[in-house]
């Protein structure tokens, strides 16, 4: 009630007479910028607790979180579910999950932490998701069509489910249709919304007017299932993992790098900056001004007229955050800014902003990293020693 009262516009506010009648002047209070956004309502999905139709989203997590592509896929499912009543959105997450995914509209969450994307075990994964699908009998299945295992697993699922319609690399979706590129992207092919949908990146918006309830479902059933198949398949699985390796950051293309430190006009000492990159094993990027100054080569430039990067972590040092620069980092998940001006535009974009002199903070960070590394080395050595004794 009080809330309503505050939002009410005075009906007797001043007016101007114009040819078309009275033109009331809106003199409400200016929007309060620091006001916390209204909490979004939970989408009303549980009308009754009886058997409910569901849309299933299957995705791998990356270090305990869903990446943007996976979040878009969950949101797409939530938007489709919202148009009908009585449909729940179930998210089946392969790999561990340490964040709450209610904001992208998941109602129920099943986590199978043993299936990290880093390990190649498609036969076991397929057996387990098939078991979940049989149990839930979802009306639609959505997966992100990506390279961290879901594109692969999704196609295996499609090949194993002969009776169900499917579409891959779906770039446009609504409640009735799906569309995929055809003939190398020169044409577009529409179809009725199929049963299994592998969604391309950026096909759905993650901004929802509601949230899901995101209750974590117990996974007893699934883990016993895993053990069963494990026992059966240990000897017969045709696949074997020999391990994962990460290419040294200097050799990775900037577009592919996972951790980037980037220098702008506020970095005076390039040598310290390069030592920091080495300490963090990060790839090096730069703003246009830093490149124009000759501090870095042109291929390091990030932004509208440079490269677009998708690193999970982007550390912007002495970069003001001009729109042209921000365009290049729109897909970065964690942005950390070091800047001496707390009103620089980068501060609005960054998840963490450290206000202070770049040189001093870089020096301190190099020391802190060295210390942390030696500590974890000591710990490892200790553990080794204890094991050997």
Partner 1 sequence: MCMLSIATLVSAGLHPVSGEPRHCRNDSLAMTLGLQLAESIGAEIKVLHAGDENNPALPNYLALNAKKIDVISVASGANIVDSLATNLANTELILTGTRAEDGEDSGLLPYLLAAKLNIPLVANALAIKPIENGIEILQFLPKGKRRSVTVKLPAVVVVHPLAPIELRFAFAQQVSGQIVAHTAQNQSKTSSSKQIQWQIQAAINKPKKLKAQENKSGHERMLAYIASENKGGAVVNEGSSVEKAQVILSYLREHHLINF
Ligand X SMILES: Cc1cc2nc3c(=O)[nH]c(=O)nc-3n(C[C@H](O)[C@H](O)[C@H](O)COP(=O)(O)OP(=O)(O)OC[C@H]3O[C@@H](n4cnc5c(N)ncnc54)[C@H](O)[C@@H]3O)c2cc1C
Q: Which does 238 bind (CB under 5 to 8 A by kind): partner 1, ligand X, none?
A: partner 1
Q: Which does 243 bind (CB under 5 to 8 A by kind): partner 1, ligand X, none?
A: partner 1
Q: Which does 167 bind (CB under 5 to 8 A by kind): ligand X, partner 1, none?
A: partner 1
For the bound state, the minimum distance from the C-beta of residue 108 to partner 1, rounded and expressed in Å, comes to: 19
Q: Which does 210 bind (CB under 5 to 8 A by kind): ligand X, partner 1, none?
A: partner 1
Which residue sits closest to ligand X, CB atoms considered?
303
Q: Which does 46 bind (CB under 5 to 8 A by kind): partner 1, ligand X, none?
A: none
Q: Pick between residue 126 and residue 322 the one whose CB is nearest to ligand X.
A: 322
For the bound state, the minimum distance from the C-beta of residue 292 to partner 1, rounded and expressed in Å, comes to: 27
* The residue to which tokens 């999905």 are assigned: 45
Question: How many Å from the N-terminal Cα to the C-terminal Cα in the chain?
Answer: 70
Of residues 160, 113, 132, 131, the one with CA closest to residue 54 = 132
Q: Which does 148 bind (CB under 5 to 8 A by kind): partner 1, ligand X, none?
A: partner 1
Q: Which does 288 bind (CB under 5 to 8 A by kind): partner 1, ligand X, none?
A: ligand X
Residues 22 and 16 sit within 8 Å (Cβ to Cβ):
yes
For the bound state, the minimum distance from the C-beta of residue 359 to ligand X, rounded and expressed in Å, comes to: 6
Strand 172-173 with 177-182, pairing: antiparallel
Binding site for ligand X (CB under 6 A): 264-266, 287-290, 301-306, 318-320, 322, 324-325, 328, 339-341, 344, 357-358
For the bound state, the minimum distance from the C-beta of residue 302 to ligand X, rounded and expressed in Å, comes to: 6
- Residue 177 three-state SS: strand
- The radius of gyration computed from the CA coordinates of the chain, to the nearest angstrom, equals 26
Quick one: 389 exposed, middle or buried, by C-beta within 10 A (0-12, 13-18, 19+)? exposed
For the bound state, the minimum distance from the C-beta of residue 293 to partner 1, rounded and expressed in Å, comes to: 24
Task: Report which DSSP code applies to 373.
Answer: H
For the bound state, the minimum distance from the C-beta of residue 16 to ligand X, rounded and expressed in Å, comes to: 41
Q: How far is CA 72 from CA 104, 203, 279, in A?
A: 8, 7, 34
127 membership: H or E segment, kind and range: helix 122-136
Q: Pick between residue 56 and residue 257 the one whose CB is nearest to partner 1.
A: 257
* The residue to which tokens 């490149």 are assigned: 291
Q: Pick between residue 216 and residue 253 the one whose CB is nearest to partner 1.
A: 253
Provide φ and ψ at 213, rounded to 5°: -85, -20
Q: Pick between residue 83 and residue 341 the one whose CB is nearest to ligand X.
A: 341
Q: Pick between residue 104 and residue 291 the one whose CB is nearest to ligand X.
A: 291
For the bound state, the minimum distance from the C-beta of residue 238 to partner 1, rounded and expressed in Å, comes to: 4
Q: How far is CA 339 from CA 257, 282, 296, 323, in A?
A: 23, 19, 19, 16
Q: Pick between residue 43 and residue 288 the one whose CB is nearest to ligand X.
A: 288
**Partners of 259 in the beta sheet?**
313
């Amino acid at each position: 009630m009080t809330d309503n009262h505050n939002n009410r516009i005075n009906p007797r506010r001043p007016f101007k007479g114009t040819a078309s009648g009275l033109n009331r002047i809106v003199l409400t209070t200016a929007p309060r910028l620091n006001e916390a956004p209204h909490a979004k309502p939970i989408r009303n999905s549980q009308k009754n607790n009886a058997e409910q139709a569901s849309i299933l989203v299957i995705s791998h997590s990356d270090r305990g979180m869903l990446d943007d592509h996976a979040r878009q896929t969950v949101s797409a499912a939530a938007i489709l579910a919202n148009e009908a009543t009585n449909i729940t959105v179930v998210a089946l997450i392969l790999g561990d999950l340490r964040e709450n995914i209610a904001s992208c509209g998941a109602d129920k969450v099943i986590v199978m932490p043993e299936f990290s994307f880093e390990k190649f075990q498609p036969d076991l994964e397929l057996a387990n998701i098939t078991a979940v699908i049989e149990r839930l009998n979802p009306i639609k299945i959505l997966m992100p069509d990506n390279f961290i295992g879901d594109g692969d697993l999704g196609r295996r699922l499609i090949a194993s489910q002969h009776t169900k319609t499917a579409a891959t690399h779906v770039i446009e979706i609504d409640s009735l249709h799906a569309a995929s590129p055809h003939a190398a992207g020169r044409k577009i092919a529409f179809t009725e919304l199929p049963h299994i949908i592998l969604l391309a990146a950026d096909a759905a918006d993650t901004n929802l007017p509601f949230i899901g309830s995101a209750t974590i479902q117990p996974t007893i059933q699934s883990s016993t299932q895993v053990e069963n198949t494990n026992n059966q398949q240990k000897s017969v699985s045709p696949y074997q993992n020999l391990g994962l390796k990460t290419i040294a950051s200097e050799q990775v293309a900037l577009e592919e790098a996972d951790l980037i430190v980037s220098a702008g006009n506020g970095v005076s000492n390039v040598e310290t900056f390069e030592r920091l990159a080495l300490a963090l094993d990060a790839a090096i990027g730069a703003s246009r001004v830093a490149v124009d100054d000759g501090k870095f080569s042109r291929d390091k430039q990030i932004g509208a007229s440079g490269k677009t990067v998708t690193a999970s972590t982007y550390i912007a040092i002495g970069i003001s955050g001009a729109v042209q620069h921000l365009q290049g980092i729109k897909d970065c998940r964690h942005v950390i800014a070091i800047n001496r001006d707390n009103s620089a535009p980068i501060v609005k974009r960054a998840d963490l902003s450290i206000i202070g002199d770049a040189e001093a903070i870089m020096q301190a960070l190099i020391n802190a990293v060295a210390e942390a590394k030696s500590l974890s080395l000591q710990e490892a050595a200790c553990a080794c020693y204890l094991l050997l004794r």
